Amino acid sequence: MPNIKSAKKRVLVIETKTLRNQMIKTNLKTCIKNFEACVNSGDKEKALAAYKLAVKKVDQAVAKGILHKNTASRKKSQLAIKLNKIA
């Protein structure tokens, strides 16, 4: 347990940032799962809309510093491949 005032403040700030990061990650994972569900159902229109939302969320995660840019690029590429496989 921290004794110094600044250390106590850091603990509070870290808790807040951890919650924020968790919310963004959870939202991102949900969007990706929704996209994959649309792909599995074979609905091209819904999959395209879900793809756009998922890519947007990935880019936002990069901007917030939650994902590395190369990880985001890889995720977007994987999503695009899945989208293109729909006939």
Query: pTM (2 decimals)?
Result: 0.86
Domains in the chain, please, with CATH? 5-84 (1.20.58.110)
Rounded CA-CA distance 77/68 in Å is: 14
Contact 50, 31 (CB under 8 A): yes
pLDDT at site 30: 98
Q: What is the pLDDT of residues 41-58, one digit of tens each?
A: 999 999 999 999 999 999
Rounded CA-CA distance 64/20 in Å is: 10
Low-confidence ranges of the chain (pLDDT < 70): 87
Give me the long-range contacts of 35-43 (CB less than 8 A, separation at least 24).
35/79, 35/82, 35/83, 36/82, 39/82, 39/83, 39/85, 39/86, 42/86, 42/87
